Amino acid sequence: MKRETVAGTAMLVTALLVAAVSERLHAEDDAALLKQAQALFKPLPQTMGTPDFPTTPARVALGRMLFFDPRWTLEGNVSCATCHQPALYGTDALAKSIGVQHRTHPRNAPTVLNAGLSFVQHWWGDRKNLEDQVEQALIGVFSSGHPDPAAVTARIEAIEGYASPFRQAFADEAKPITSVNIGKAIGAYERTLLTPSPFDAYLRGDTRALSPMARSGLQRFITRGCASCHDGTGIGGQMFQKFGVVEEYWKATGSPEIDKGRFGFTKDPADLYVFKVPSLRNAAMTPPYFHDGSVATLDEAVKVMGRVQLGRTLPDAEIGEIVAFLGALTGTLPASFVSAPTLPSAAVKRGW
């Protein structure tokens, strides 16, 4: 064998050995990152229903119709779907939503997708659960605009086609069209709005479900401290936190108004500038960001969070990696949410 051939063979063997060692080390790193992620995050459950708030087919079907139907609100032109549009991943893309009679909501409308995973509802956390949120909204000046629940139920009763779906959903009740049952029905539908994402596949063991850049972003997300608040199944939504731990948030966001957070609800000085930590699922699809919609892009939102929460100026490369990870939280829209249902008969009784 010629010397050159022997040398070439040796070089090839060495290269293969180096590649094998490198691949093994990468595999070990991937396994370690997965184990770390599985300790901090959980994949989506099969359902967000509970024993107290079951997602029975009849309730879900009724709730879906009510969710998309504007006819029972004050002027008949605003529905739940107005602020939570399927094409915009359950948001309306506005800094602050517009409700009945063109009233501006005080805060940005978060996505309704996966919302049942959160421990409370609203930026203030002033709604116990999805059902409470719906029931309170029935008499909200920004949503339904009705002064009392009876006005809402009267409008629904006037739409003849709702009688049968309510009887099916609440078969043990003589008069099923109530504000409580409206909340339970819409809540049941919203509890079905789960969006499984590549990150869920990753958490179940498929390390290649995330791109190398997204895996790097996940590592950054953990080591930089983002996961100290944004953890669990929702990647957030499980705690309250002050917005502006290191510095006043409005200096970084350019917010035109200073929202005092839960203080406005509790009047407790400890709640000044405290908000519910939002879920980051589908964050790439739901700009603008923060409670006041003051930041337009996800890159800028990550930059702001590094600055006001962590006291860090994150390099552009790290921001790009974290944004790539957040993109892997974008899930598949439920079929029942992609399009609106056929609504009950529009035959309306006179006199209301």
Annotated binding residues, written as ranges, equal 80, 83-84, 226, 229-230, 305
Spatial separation of the C-alpha atoms in residues 242 and 313, rounded to whole Å: 19
Q: Which of left, alpha, beta for 261 (phi over 0: left; psi -120 to 50: alpha)?
A: left
* Site of tokens 């229903």: 49
**Are 178 and 71 contacting, i.e. CB atoms less than 8 angstroms apart?**
no
Please report, in range form, the residues annotated as the binding site for heme c. Answer: 80, 83-84, 226, 229-230, 305
**Are 304 and 295 contacting, i.e. CB atoms less than 8 angstroms apart?**
yes
Half-sphere exposure of 307 (CA within 13 A, CB side): 15
Pick from 15, 39, 19: nearest CA to 27: 19
Long-range CB pairs of 170-174, under 8 A, 24+ apart, other chains included? 170/59, 171/58
Helix axes 179-190, 149-157, angle to 10 degrees: 80
**Are 93 and 80 contacting, i.e. CB atoms less than 8 angstroms apart?**
no
Pick from 97, 101, 98: nearest CA to 111: 97
Alpha helices (H) along the chain: 3-40, 57-68, 80-83, 130-137, 149-157, 163-169, 179-190, 198-203, 212-223, 249-253, 263-266, 298-308, 316-327, 335-338
